[in-house]
Every structure is written in C-alpha cells, then in structure tokens.
Amino acid sequence: MIQQQTILKVSDNSGAKTVKCIKVLGGFKRKVAKIGDVIVVSVQQLRNKSRVTSKVQTGEIYRALVIRTRSRILKKDGSNYRFAENAVSLMNKQGKPIATRIIGPVSKRLRKGRFLKFASISTGFV
C-alpha cells in the first residue's frame, strides 16, 4: 500500500527513475493507494542516460498510476500474489501515459476500466 512520502520506482521510459508520493487521490481522508489507483507524485531522480532527452524534469509534479505494490493482492479463487517493489507509471492531467512503454509485468486489474492504454503498452500481465 502506498501512502504519502513513499518513494516509488518508475517503470516506464518517461525518463524518471524515482518519485515521491505527495497525495493519494480518490476521496476525502483517503490514506493509502492500491494497484489501479491514481496518486500525485514529485520527480526525485532521473535516469542517467536520458537526462538530456528526458520528457520530465526533477521536481515537477505529475499524476501517476500505481501498477505494482509490495502488499499482497488476493484473487477471487483464494490465491494471492505480490510484487517485489512498489512501481508507478506517469501520466498527464488528461490521464494519458507520458511514456510509450511500461517495463515489467502489471496486474490484470488494469485491463478493466479507464486504464486500458496502460495495459496495452505493458510487456506482460500477472
């Protein structure tokens, strides 16, 4: 589960390496975010190779979609799974991804609803 001040890994090719969660969106007094939730983040670090050609800059504020969390996810059949790290993908204010690729697997929950574009640019599903 993601909350304020959590440092997250960026799993796309937007140019950011790590971001810090500023706010969890989606309701009054909402404290934690799970997979498929939207949060507001600040860029902390950029990737070394893409500092010149990066689409983002350090200190900028973006919205991000949570695509992986370390907390366990229960499935309807009773099994559960979890990822190795907390990861997000950056989006603009209209809800479209900034990047053109998502690195690593994402949850099948992203196929439903309004995040179909993020599911289509990812490499695999869990």
- The number of folded domains in the chain is 1
Confirm whether 44 is domain-assigned. yes
pTM, full prediction: 0.90
Q: Please, what is the average pLDDT of the chain? A: 91
Domain that holds residue 64: 7-125
Nearest to 46 by CA among 61, 29, 58: 58
- Segment 87-124, tens digit of pLDDT: 999 999 998 999 999 999 988 888 887 888 888 888 88
pLDDT digits (tens, 9 = 90+) for 3-29: 999 999 999 989 899 999 999 999 999
Q: Is residue 52 exposed (0-12), middle (13-18) or buried (19+ Cβ within 10 Å)? A: exposed
Q: Residue 44 phi/psi, 5° resolution? A: -100, -45
Give the CATH number, domain containing residue 48: 2.40.150.20
Domain membership flag for residue 1: no
